Amino acid sequence: MAAPTGATRIFQVHPLRTCNLRCLHCYSESAPGQRERLPAEIVWEAIASAAKEGYDVVGFSGGEPLLYEPLGELLGAARRLGLRLSVTTNGMLLDERRVGWLSGGNCLVAISLDGQPESHNRMRDSPRAFEAMQERLPLLREAGIPFGFIFTLTQFNSNELEWIAAFARDQGAQLLQVHPLDVIGRAEDSLGDAAPDAHELAVAFVETMRLQAEAGDGLTIHFDLLDRDFLAENPAAFFATSRPADASSCPFAESISPLILEADGTLVPLGHGFPRAFALGNLGASPFSELVRDWRATREPEFRRLCREIWEEAREPAEWPFMNWYSEVRQRAANWKMPGEATGKSGKHHVRKRDGKLARHALRRSHRSA
């Protein structure tokens, strides 16, 4: 339950939307036919600029980052800057050449894992997704590359957490991250009402605590939920305070983390697809430093006002002691009216009920058969 502005300052890079899979829950709607990608020069300039602004971790995601040929060179260059690294992948394309990109230290590989084999393959829309991923894990172990798994929690799969944790331990993973499904991107159409409700989150949270106690120090389990008491006691960590008077002279990483670079060149705070009203802008139009300067002058005050509003509401008595903070900020930002601007279209996720119901029934079948 770490705060967004914890000790780690993260710059997350999505250099492409090409992927070998077409996952049901993909937030960026990546797929084999997607061709959007950033030139390596723009990615490197952004990484170097981010390092100057205080970001100390660079994470690569996608799309499938192992399909991005400049990845190896970019990882090496980032290491030379002293940055820590992470690469989020479906794991199916790991081979000796690509594992060579990941070798060299300071790199954690995060592998998507959506449940037991049948559940994983269904979510990944591929009959061999689990098998191909599992076959390649020995390459990481033999190379001594630390890795972990990211599990997407839905309304119907908390019963698979015990299996997931056991699999992670058996495979030698260091980390298991449990992330509640965000109904954004392709999930709007394919997984409409599969996001976990408060009761399911509570069940999963208790189960996660039990599994962590059993795992001990061998496996760290992180649940992407926020304790309301922790939030109430740490407003500055959640952007819920006024901007410090000397903020313009401080590294930008002290103002926003994570900072996201999307495959079209847009910089946004917190997460991929964050509402464009709060975007910094596009690196194809302006340099990194200018986008940071302008955002501080025009968007940061409103961003902090939005976060302050959520913080104050989160302090009020509530049925549940936790909240999905990132999801709440995203939804509020989608409907936020900027000073002097007309109210835009609602950013609420309008579920296509028929598609969502079909996906829900498929996941429910998986839940019952697990």
Q: How far apart are the C-alpha atoms of 80 and 123, rounded to whole Å? A: 37
Concatenate the DSSP letters of all residues of 316-367 into one string.
S--SSSEE-HHHHHHHHHHTPPPTTS------S----HHHHHHHHHHHHHHH
Contact 37, 30 (CB under 8 A): no
Residue 107, φ and ψ in degrees, nearest 5: -130, 125
pLDDT above 90 for 355:
no
- Kindly report the pTM of this predicted structure: 0.89
pLDDT for 5: 55
Q: Tell me the mean pLDDT in the region 187-201.
A: 90
Question: What's the confidence (pLDDT) of residue 190?
Answer: 87
The domain locations on the chain are: 7-370
Amino acid at 19: C
pLDDT band with cut points at 50, 70 and 90 for residue 368: very low
- Note the helical H segments in 53-186: 71-80, 96-102, 117-124, 129-143, 161-171
Q: What is the mean pLDDT of residues 284-302?
A: 95
Looking at residue 342, its pLDDT comes to: 56
Question: How far, in Å, CA of 112 to CA of 171, rounded?
Answer: 14
Q: Given the DSSP bridges, would you call strands 57-60 and 10-13 parallel, antiparallel or unpaired?
A: parallel
Buried b (16+ CB within 10 A) or exposed e, 163-193: ebbebbbebebebbbbbbbbbbbbbbbbbbe
CATH C-level class of 7-370 = alpha beta
Alpha-carbon span 18 to 14, nearest angstrom:
10
Q: What angle do CA 169, 173, 179 make, to 5 degrees?
A: 95
Which pLDDT score, from 0 to 100, does residue 344 have? 45
Output the pLDDT for position 340: 72
pLDDT value at residue 105: 87
How does the average pLDDT of the chain come out, rounded? Answer: 89
Given a cut of 50, whether residue 346 has pLDDT beyond it is no
Is the distance from CB of 15 to CB of 60 less than 8 angstroms? yes
Instruction: Look at residue 356 and tell me whether its pLDDT is greater than 90.
Output: no
Single-letter amino acid, residue 94: L
Average pLDDT over residues 246-272: 91
pLDDT tens-place string over residues 35-73: 999 999 999 999 999 999 999 999 999 999 999 999 999
